A = this chain, B = another copy of it.
Amino acid sequence: MKIIKNPEKLGWNLIAERPKIEKENLSKLVSNIFYEVENEGEIALSKYTFIYDHVHVNDFLVSKQEIENASNSVSSELKEAIEIAKNNIEKFHKSQIDTSKKIKTSKGVTCWRENRAIEKVGIYIPGGTAPLFSTVLMLGIPAKIAGCNEIILCSAPDKNGQINPAILYTANLIGISSIFIVGGIQAIAALTFGTKSIPKVFKIFGPGNQYVTAAKQYSLNFGLAIDMPAGPSELLIIADSSSIPKFIAADLLSQAEHGLDSQVILLSDSEKVIKDILTEIEIQLPLLPRKEIALAALKNSKSIIFENISECLEFSNLYAPEHLILAVRKSEKLVKGIVNAGSVFLGNYSCESAGDYASGTNHTLPTNGYAKNYSGVALDSFVKKITFQKITKKGIKKIGPAIELMAEAEGLFAHKNAVSVRLKSIIKLVE
């Protein structure tokens, strides 16, 4: 980890830059697969499943029997753990339900908004080595609370042509029954166009590699929406002398093990604190199964010593981290000053893993600086808000003349006339 000492403000932007990711030009590949899936349906899905996952799949729907079998192969300890996480995630996302308030903006003019669930949503869960059943909770639970009619889950087959049992168990637990064994670009194409067995959806959620990310982006050309643009995971920690080096080191490593391109940033007002933490990293790193990945990620990473904690916070806002841990004295006092971040962890016992699994907050968060202009996934991500207005005769009499004037000034006379015909009829009635 590179240590930077009291950098000048002019250089902050450069330090806050993410490592440039060589975006392979995937657009030709993505558009080809989309074209084939649109035109040949599941024949194309089978073809690309064989090419990328090296297994033959012809029936993409996971059967009830398979789900039941999966459930039997998940340990009861893990089931209990999932239950705890599920309860917390449910509690927090249910607290986000907002009720419609009717507002009288003028006499006779009532306006309000109502939530409607997005009817059909797709949830993409990466398969492969790390079976992210936690993401099933993070996306499936708010989709269920929102009341989405159809929740379609896709995940790539493993080398035996199956989806990890913990993923199937978790999906079934929260009431998702439409599970399809297909991954990669072809899965996103299937959700975009629909196939014989896989329904077309209106919005696609979920993490994925660069292929899935490019495919999600491409689905926007066909009227779909996606949760957010994706990038490698990140963690920024602000630590002072009240922090516990062993904890911070473990947190930095937990982020670093995600992938070679993960980035961790450590800020402090004390060189000693940083040195103590780096020493702890040396101790903990060799014990990790994914130490090679973590080591590579640490090479992208920086420790920066600032004058004081408020400068640390200023830099953090510029960087806009996905995850922000405040391991400082009176961490809650800093909350007001946080402008850009995905999810924030306060104090020495709020580790990022807690948010990844079980505190209740969502772990699908904006990366790569997108915390400046995007929120993480929440209940809102699964609903649209429709505005309503009810205007009475009195109401149109009150605001109608203003509308007429404004419409005329914008040169839109038919807009004006829609009010005029009503005002005239009201006057007639009065006469």
A85 contacts partner chain B, Cβ-Cβ < 8 Å: yes
A413 contacts partner chain B, Cβ-Cβ < 8 Å: yes
Q: How far is the CA of A368 from the CA of B202 in the complex (A)?
A: 13
Known: A384-B340, A391-B349. A357 touches B118 (CB 8 A): no
> Which listed residue (B77, B251, B370, B375) contacts A418, Cβ 8 A?
B251
> Which listed residue (B229, B365, B407) contacts A220, Cβ 8 A?
B229
Q: How far is the CA of A256 from the CA of B414 in the complex (A)?
A: 9
Known: A88-B106, A246-B421, A354-B399. A378 touches B373 (CB 8 A): no
Are B254 and A414 neighbours in the complex by a CB distance under 8 Å?
yes
- Which A327-380 residues have a C-beta within 8 angstroms of B? 331-332, 335, 338-362, 365-366, 368-376, 378, 380
* Residue in A95, A130, A244, A403 with the greatest tally of chain B CB atoms within 10 Å: A403
Q: How far is the CA of A383 from the CA of B339 in the complex (A)?
A: 10
Q: What chain B residues lie within 8 Å of A380 (beta carbons)?
A: 380, 385
A66 contacts partner chain B, Cβ-Cβ < 8 Å: no
A96 contacts partner chain B, Cβ-Cβ < 8 Å: yes
Q: How far is the CA of A335 from the CA of B261 in the complex (A)?
A: 48
A47 contacts partner chain B, Cβ-Cβ < 8 Å: no
Are B254 and A353 neighbours in the complex by a CB distance under 8 Å?
no
Are B389 and A343 neighbours in the complex by a CB distance under 8 Å?
yes
Q: Within the oligomer, what is the number of copies of this chain?
A: 2
A124 contacts partner chain B, Cβ-Cβ < 8 Å: no
Are B409 and A133 neighbours in the complex by a CB distance under 8 Å?
yes
Which B residue's beta carbon lies closest to that of A288? B414
Q: How far is the CA of A81 from the CA of B89 in the complex (A)?
A: 47
Quick one: CB contact mask for A221-240 with B, threshold 8 Å, 1 for yes?
A: 00111000100000000000
Q: How far is the CA of A354 from the CA of B420 in the complex (A)?
A: 12
Which B residue's beta carbon lies closest to that of A249? B421
Are B416 and A353 neighbours in the complex by a CB distance under 8 Å?
yes
Which B residue's beta carbon lies closest to that of A217? B220
A134 contacts partner chain B, Cβ-Cβ < 8 Å: yes
Q: What chain B residues lie within 8 Å of A111 (beta carbons)?
A: 88, 92, 359-361
* Tally of contact residues, A, Cβ under 8 A: 133
Known: A352-B418, A410-B133. A84 touches B402 (CB 8 A): yes
Q: How far is the CA of A79 from the CA of B403 in the complex (A)?
A: 12
Q: How far is the CA of A386 from the CA of B321 in the complex (A)?
A: 11
A2 contacts partner chain B, Cβ-Cβ < 8 Å: no
A119 contacts partner chain B, Cβ-Cβ < 8 Å: yes
A395 to chain B, nearest CB (A): 7
Q: What chain B residues lie within 8 Å of A116 (beta carbons)?
A: 338-340
Which B residue's beta carbon lies closest to that of A83? B402
Are B346 and A105 neighbours in the complex by a CB distance under 8 Å?
no
Are A81 and B401 neighbours in the complex by a CB distance under 8 Å?
yes
Q: How far is the CA of A401 from the CA of B276 in the complex (A)?
A: 27
> Which listed residue (B84, B224, B375, B384) contacts A399, Cβ 8 A?
B84
Are A418 and B103 neighbours in the complex by a CB distance under 8 Å?
no
Are A114 and B335 neighbours in the complex by a CB distance under 8 Å?
yes
A131 contacts partner chain B, Cβ-Cβ < 8 Å: yes
* Residue in A229, A250, A365, A368 with the greatest tally of chain B CB atoms within 10 Å: A250
Quick one: CB contact mask for A148-186 with B, threshold 8 Å, 1 for yes?
A: 000000000000000000100000000000000000000
Q: What chain B residues lie within 8 Å of A335 (beta carbons)?
A: 114, 388
A260 contacts partner chain B, Cβ-Cβ < 8 Å: no
Known contacts A88-B105, A130-B411; 5 additional CB pairs below 8 A are A116-B340, A130-B412, A247-B418, A288-B413, A355-B389
Q: What are the 5 closest A-B residue pairs judged by CB atoms, nearest first?
A: A105-B360, A81-B402, A88-B105, A81-B405, A225-B373
